[in-house]
Amino acid sequence: MVKKSFKTEFSGRRRTVTRKSGFNVNYQFHGTKLKFDKGYGVEIKKKQSLNIKFEIENNQNNWICYGLYFNPSKPIEIEVNNKDFSKKTLNYYGPDCWSKIGSIWQSDQSHLIEVIFKTETSNTIYFYDYDCGLVNYKYLNVNHELWLKRSEDLEIRKQIFNKINSNLHIFSPEINFISTKGKITFNKKLDNKFSKTISLKNCNRCNRFLPVNLEQYERKQLAYSNHCGESKDQCTHSSFGVIQELESGKTRQLKYGFQLECRVCKRFEVNTALNPLRTSSQLKEDSQRRRNFELLLTHLYKISPSLSYRHKTGKELTEDIFKKFEGKCFKCKTILSLTNKKNKMHLDHTRPLAYLWQVDGTATALCGNCNSQKSAKFPKDFYTSNEIKKLSKITGLTEDELNNPSPNEKALEKLIESENWFFKEFLIKQELIKQKDGKNSAELICVALDKVVQASSKKNTYSFHEKFKENFY
């Protein structure tokens, strides 16, 4: 999940520090390093396709992977065929932007994976760091000290290991630490005369230089998560928001900034390593705030979205969205289910709940993987322009609405108008006002609502947190 901005500006330090970045900078430069490399292209003619085959030989229990970064000159369609493991990362951000494909899983057999790029017009697709094979990564060993700290009992340790690593594919291809390479075959030859620059940022933990998108594509995340989100106009944290070109020494200011660690190191070196030091209430904090926002909007409008939808249409919201999207994840086209836990449909808000958009008839059907990657992003930051057009036709939202990163202004206005009810009736509920680790849900709701105000185009100066302190301190 992308880290929210304004976290400490309104509420001080939210919780006791349990981790350190491990990154020190000198007085001359506060930031991370940037270098550039080349990806090479393949020309594809109109109505043709490019096929890439990944062949991996294996005869014992190993971690298997494939992956690549790609950048098409014009819109494309992508199909990934892997009959043995369907879960994958497929972050396609549209033409002239670097995107990625990959997956990782455990297996005791050989595999053949095929990735097909289809184009309606003549096109050039550039590729970088394409690879496949057997993975050797220290944290994927259940007997590593990272897991031994959790439990000395092997069976318990395996349960923890499997649970934490159940969605490991979302970290591919940056987690593809290949020890034995497989075979990769392109049905059309890469041509060195077609090249495209790709930007690489260093990770302060594993010391690798891994891909990032810069400038207007900075929110199109590859191997690193952004440090600040949409609600902040500019990342002002020197260690995260400034980057220095390795060769020239030139520094550049980033808009959203990047985490110091790549997504893999953030997962294992930081979060997984130190999560045992966090309390259960800290782990539940983000999900609790989401539930509280759902509760707030339901009370504000005096009806739940699903009940409202049933009254208006005579249909069940979940079942209707499932049918609208033909039982498939809109982003990666995985076949979904309404009943089975495996590939169960997630009802995405389309426009984020964090900005007061309720789930309703404009919802999107996503798989758990894509829903997790989308998180609180606005549609324009997660979908390509072509996907926005298709999503508009299915949901009934206009392309302008889907491309507009604005909060629900009507809900915000209604909430401000209902100030007396909000502070005197809603926030005094026992489950909201109860103190946990020196914080309570009521105050966290107000802090989160101030981020909504900050993102409003109406430049409202209203502060829920200040009103909270007036009413409760």
Q: Which residues of 463-473 are buried (b: 16+ CB within 10 A; e: fewer)?
A: bbbebbeeeee
The two tokens of residue 188 are 């059309």
pLDDT band at 104 (very low <50, low <70, confident <90, very high): very high
Identity of the amino acid at 311 = H
Question: How many residues are listed for the chain in this entry?
Answer: 473
The answer to whether residue 136 scores a pLDDT higher than 50 is yes
Residues 6+ apart with CB under 8 A from 378: 230, 351, 352, 355, 404, 405
Each domain of the chain, given as residue ranges in start order, spans 38-197, 315-403, 409-472
Spell out the SS3 assignment of the chain.
Answer: CCCCCCHHHHHCCCCCCCCCCCCCCCCCCCCEEEEEEEEEEEEECCCCEEEEEEEECCCCCEEEEEEEEEEECCCCEEEEECCCCCCCEEECCCCCCCEEEEEEEEECCCEEEEEEEECCCCEEEEEEEEEEEEECCHHHCCCCHHHHCCCCCHHHHHHHHHHHCCCHHHHCCCCCCEEEECEEEECCCCEEEEEEEEEEEECCCCCCEEEECCHHHCCCCCCCCECCCCCCCCCCCHHHHEEEECCCCCEEECCCCECCCCHHHHHHHHHHHHHHHCCHHHHHHHHHHHHHHHHHHHHHHCCCHHHHHHHHHCCCHHHHHHHHCCCECCCCCCECECCCCCCECEEECCCCHHHCCCCCCCCEEECHHHHHHHCCCCHHHCCCHHHHHHHHHHHCCCHHHHHCCCCCHHHHHHHHHCHHHHHHHHCCCHHHHCEECCEEHHHHHHHHHHHHHHHCCCCCCCCHHHHHHHHHC
Task: Please name the amino acid found at residue 188.
Answer: K
pLDDT at 102: 96
- Distance (Å) of CA 398 to CA 49, 109, 334, 362, 402: 31, 47, 25, 11, 6
Q: State yes or no: pLDDT of 276 exceeds 70.
A: no
383: number of Cβ within 10 Å: 24
pLDDT digits (tens, 9 = 90+) for 41-95: 999 999 899 999 999 999 999 999 999 999 999 999 999 999 989 889 999 999 9
Average pLDDT for 282-287? 54
Ranked by mean pLDDT, the top range of 45-49, 193-197, 367-371, 404-408 is 193-197
**Confidence class for position 428, pLDDT limits 50, 70, 90:** confident
Supply the pLDDT for residue 371: 86
Region 241-262: mean pLDDT is 91
Please check whether residue 178 is in contact with residue 129, taking contact to mean a CB–CB distance below 8 angstroms. no
**What values do phi and psi take at 102, rounded to 5?**
175, 170
The structure's pTM equals 0.68
User: Mean pLDDT across the stretch 158-163?
Assistant: 90
- Dist. CA 270–CA 225, nearest whole Å: 14
Whether the per-residue pLDDT at 138 is higher than 90: the answer is yes
Domain 38-197 = CATH 1.10.3470: no
Joined together, the tokens standing for residue 57 give 């030989």
Q: Is the pLDDT of residue 199 over 60?
A: yes
1 pLDDT higher than 50: no
CA distances from residue 149 to 138, 144, 157, 164, 174 in whole angstroms, order as listed: 15, 9, 9, 14, 25
pLDDT at residue 285, rounded to an integer: 56
pLDDT band at 278 (very low <50, low <70, confident <90, very high): very low
